[in-house]
Chain A
Amino acid sequence: MNKTHDNKAWFFVLPVVALVAFNAVIPLMTVVNYSVQETFGDNVFFWAGVMWFEQVLQSERFHDALFRQLAFTFTILLIEVPLGVAIALTMPKKGPWVPVCLVLMALPLLIPWNVVGAMWNIFALPDIGLLGRSLNALGFDYNFTRQPGDAWFTLILMDVWHWTSLVVLLAYAGLVSIPDAYYQAAKIDGAKPFAVFRYIQLPKMKRVLTIAVLLRFMDSFMIYTELSVLTGGGPGNSTTLLSIDLVKIALGQFDLGPAAAMSLIYFLIILALSWVFYTLMMRNEQQ
């Protein structure tokens, strides 16, 4: 669309800028402020330079949390994106069942995150949970509160349960926007189902899948509430991802300096990775 050049449009965005600036800039400045100071209590602060940043970046604890975070994010992306696309492909395109499917699938997305955690907690408990009890009855030694492997399994299953629908709905939106003529042309050209997927459906879903991957990437990096209710980062530190670790340091130990430095590093990692993702996918699209 041809846009008119007019700086008066700033008046339209002013309320948004004011509100977001109030919410983003002031707290961010607070964080930056903490991140470069040292305190010994009584609200007395000293300039500390980049000490906290160095400390965080060199700490093994941070490396471990970051590694766990990356492992978690890439695992759920690898499961949720293909699974979501597969489910979207098998959904009916029209008919009375479509709204029913969509409503049921969207349901997990609207459950408060701590309820998701609590629900999975009681679902997976080895003594009273349906999942835990069934797995043990089938002969698996399953206890997510004691065994790190089981905790990871439960965490990933919960995230797949919680968020795959987002990918399904986005992919489905992309699929239903493909005109019938494309499928008819492919039929006439003798294309096999895989060729239809590869040359028609996938290209048309690309835009929405980009959104899906970006959203899932960002949100999985920020996961906190469900995780803290489900495992609290345990057993031990085995499921302590970045945000859990951050809250432990900031609110648990009240180490404001390291917590602030870690916050900024954490935020910058998300920004940088999102930006890389975004440009890679956009460049791919322009070719």
Chain B
Amino acid sequence: MAKIVLDTLRHAYMPNPTQDSDWALKQLDLEWEDGGAYALLGPSGCGKTTLLSIISGLLRPTHGRVFFDGQDVTDLTPEQRHIAQVFQFPVVYDTMTVYDNLAFPLRNRGVDEKHVDQRVREIAGMIDLTHMLDNRAAGLTADGKQKISLGRGLVRSDVNAIMFDEPLTVIDPHLKWQLRSKLKELHQRVRTTMIYVTHDQTEALTFADKVVVMNQGEVVQIGTPVDLFERPQHTFVGHFIGSPGMNVLPCEVADGRPHVAGIAVQAGGSGNLGSASGKLEVGVRPEFVRFAEAGDTGGLPARVVKVSDAGRFRIVEAEAAETRIKLLVPEGGDIPQEQAHLLFDPDHTAVYRDGWIVA
């Protein structure tokens, strides 16, 4: 097990990167605590798989170093780094039995058979494969095969970290949940650093203690699932996480305060915004928008255009000054016909300049 540090990492797949878009990874400085459960979350093509391959040693970064417990491992192979990885499509050695698959990494390292047998049986028990140890691996279902891939990482006692590259892609939906909670449980038991790459926010938020959100080759936020939800550092995070995503409304500044469509909006902690340079936006999650009731003052005048039922709450779309704002109304809550006023919860409303939150 090890603490992983990434120092000014950059990577490009082409030989001579010139412009910004040539870089698959723009610039990264990260620290991964020993024994943590991390998720790398981002849309397809954001560079998360590239980053994973750099950490595991399958790819050498164009620039920057990788450290495991202070040791520079940038030029070491995955084997020398003691990394295990579970791939998107299950990789098993078809001609071997489940038992031999699990024993393979140990036998390659010259571990004696008695110890191999003991480890394999122990791990097989953990991942519920004991009853099929003698089966051919080729005959297993996709989730069984993914368990074998994981098991091959777990049997080794020297593993620094286990990487998961979208491991649930080919798993049936009803088994996804099972496998996910199994993973969580295993992490709590073995306490190995685990890094889980996915584009699915539910997978990331339920698995990880800390989530690293990436977009276009950059890390936009690192935080606990709660941080990401309550205080998105970037409008991208607000958009990407949560369903529906955060409302992002263009605004301008007057008297040092944000105004949406000419109406002043309270945003907690933004203080005096001063001069209005850059593109300014106000971000607020649908969970923190409500209709003004009798006794409330002010609010953004809006017109209700669409209501859709999502079970325990309803998603209302309202139109205010050419932009659409979504808000959640709990079951039984009133929805005004046509004209209404919208109020934002100041503690959960933030101002963003060029996408980034204004401190």
Sample of 12 A–B contacts (CB below 8 Å): A182-B91, A184-B58, A185-B149, A187-B77, A187-B78, A188-B78, A189-B104, A190-B105, A199-B95, A199-B104, A203-B94, A287-B136
Q: Which of B84, B94, B96 is A188 in contact with, Cβ under 8 Å?
A: B84
Complex-state Cα separation, A182 to B152, whole angstroms: 13
Q: Are A189 and B94 touching (Cβ within 8 A)?
A: no
B309 CB–A CB distance under 8 Å: no
Q: Are A190 and B91 touching (Cβ within 8 A)?
A: no
B87 CB–A CB distance under 8 Å: yes
Q: Are A188 and B79 touching (Cβ within 8 A)?
A: yes
B37-80 Cβ-contact flags toward A at 8 Å (1 or 0): 00000000000000000001010000000000000000001110
Count of inter-chain pairs, beta carbons less than 8 A = 49
A195 CB–B CB distance under 8 Å: yes
Q: Are B79 and A190 touching (Cβ within 8 A)?
A: yes
Given the complex, which residues of A lie within 8 Å of B233, measured CB to CB?
Answer: none
B85 CB–A CB distance under 8 Å: yes
A94 CB–B CB distance under 8 Å: no
A268 CB–B CB distance under 8 Å: no
B89 CB–A CB distance under 8 Å: yes
* Given A184-B58, A185-B149, A191 contacting B108 (CB threshold 8 A): yes
Beyond the given pairs A188-B78, A189-B105, 20 more chain A to chain B contacts, judged by CB atoms under 8 angstroms and listed by A's residue number, are A179-B91, A181-B88, A184-B58, A185-B87, A185-B149, A187-B58, A187-B78, A187-B79, A188-B84, A188-B85, A189-B104, A189-B152, A190-B105, A190-B108, A190-B109, A199-B93, A199-B96, A199-B104, A200-B93, A203-B94
Q: Are B89 and A179 touching (Cβ within 8 A)?
A: yes
B83 CB–A CB distance under 8 Å: yes
Q: Are A184 and B108 touching (Cβ within 8 A)?
A: no
A192 CB–B CB distance under 8 Å: yes
Interface residues on A, range: 10 to 19
Report B109 CB to chain A, min CB distance, Å.
Answer: 5
Complex-state Cα separation, A181 to B78, whole angstroms: 13
Complex-state Cα separation, A184 to B149, whole angstroms: 12
Q: Are A184 and B96 touching (Cβ within 8 A)?
A: no
Given the complex, which residues of B lie within 8 Å of A191, measured CB to CB?
Answer: 104, 108
Given the complex, which residues of B lie within 8 Å of A179, measured CB to CB?
Answer: 89, 91
Given the complex, which residues of B lie within 8 Å of A190, measured CB to CB?
Answer: 79, 105, 108-109
